[in-house]
């Protein structure tokens, strides 16, 4: 089965975790579209959230992963784009429920808040969980 690529992006605070998660995605068999940043030099997170959101909107990638210090700012930046449902997750339960109930298409993580094993678990859960549909469909439709 062929998988669409997964986009990943971060600001400077999320650079190390983004790099680790990009390797994790490749190990899981995904093609990774790394939108940067490419080092720890200070950058503006809205630029990276927007770049990833545009790829998800266009259907060029299946889903996206964003990383900044808390996950919050870069998620806000992505959520400014129609059709993007970026969710900040802090454990496997939040990652599972945001897919099941909210049909989130972008995972946002906080590099300053999560350990690497928790972040990897969030990633695997987010990508491995399907939208439950049913009563959640009308709610998600209202987000558009």
The answer as to whether 68 is a domain residue is: yes
Give pLDDT tens digits for 59-105.
Answer: 999 999 999 999 999 999 999 999 999 999 999 999 999 999 999 99
Kindly report the number of other CB atoms within 10 A of residue 124's CB atom: 15
Residues ≥6 apart with Cβ < 8 Å to 125: 92, 95, 96, 99
CATH number at residue 108: 3.40.1400.10
Give pLDDT tens digits for 125-136.
Answer: 999 999 999 999
pLDDT band at 1 (very low <50, low <70, confident <90, very high): very low
**pLDDT in the model for residue 136:** 96
The answer as to whether 1 is a domain residue is: no
Q: Tell me what percent of the residues of the chain surpass a pLDDT of 90.
A: 97
**pTM of this prediction?**
0.96
The answer as to whether 29 is a domain residue is: yes
Q: Determine the distance from the C-alpha atom of residue 143 to the mean position of all C-alpha atoms in its chain, rounded to a whole number.
A: 18
Q: What is the mean pLDDT of the chain?
A: 96
The catalytic residue among 12, 68, 89, 122 is 68
Number of domains in the chain: 1
The answer as to whether 84 is a domain residue is: yes
CB 105 within 8 A of CB 129: no
Cα 45 to Cα 20, 41, 51, 74, 144, distances in angstroms: 18, 12, 10, 6, 24
- Least Cα distance to 80 among 111, 47, 102, 42 occurs for 47
Give pLDDT tens digits for 38-65.
Answer: 999 999 999 999 999 999 999 999 999 9
Task: State which residues form the domain around 44.
Answer: 6-143
The answer as to whether 113 is a domain residue is: yes
Active site residue 89: no
**pLDDT in the model for residue 144:** 85
Mean pLDDT of 15-33: 97
Active site residue 81: no
**pLDDT in the model for residue 127:** 98
The catalytic residue among 12, 81, 89, 101 is 101
pLDDT band at 14 (very low <50, low <70, confident <90, very high): very high
**pLDDT in the model for residue 4:** 84
Cα separation, 17 vs 41, whole angstroms: 15
Residues ≥6 apart with Cβ < 8 Å to 34: 7, 8, 9, 18, 22
Instruction: Check pLDDT > 90 for residue 3.
Output: no
């Amino acid at each position: 089965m062929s998988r669409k690529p997964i986009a990943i992006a971060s600001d400077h605070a999320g650079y190390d975790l983004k790099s680790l998660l990009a390797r994790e995605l490749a190990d899981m068999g995904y093609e990774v579209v790394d939108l940067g940043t490419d080092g720890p030099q200070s950058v503006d997170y809205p630029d990276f959230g927007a770049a990833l959101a545009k790829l998800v909107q266009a259907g060029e990638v299946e889903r996206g992963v964003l990383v900044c210090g808390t996950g919050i700012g870069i998620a806000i930046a992505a959520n400014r784009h129609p059709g993007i449902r970026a969710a900040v997750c802090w454990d496997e339960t939040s990652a599972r429920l945001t897919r099941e109930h909210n049909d989130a298409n972008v995972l946002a993580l906080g590099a300053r808040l999560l350990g690497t094993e928790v972040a990897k678990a969030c990633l695997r859960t987010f990508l491995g969980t399907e939208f439950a549909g049913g009563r959640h469909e009308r709610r998600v439709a209202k987000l558009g």
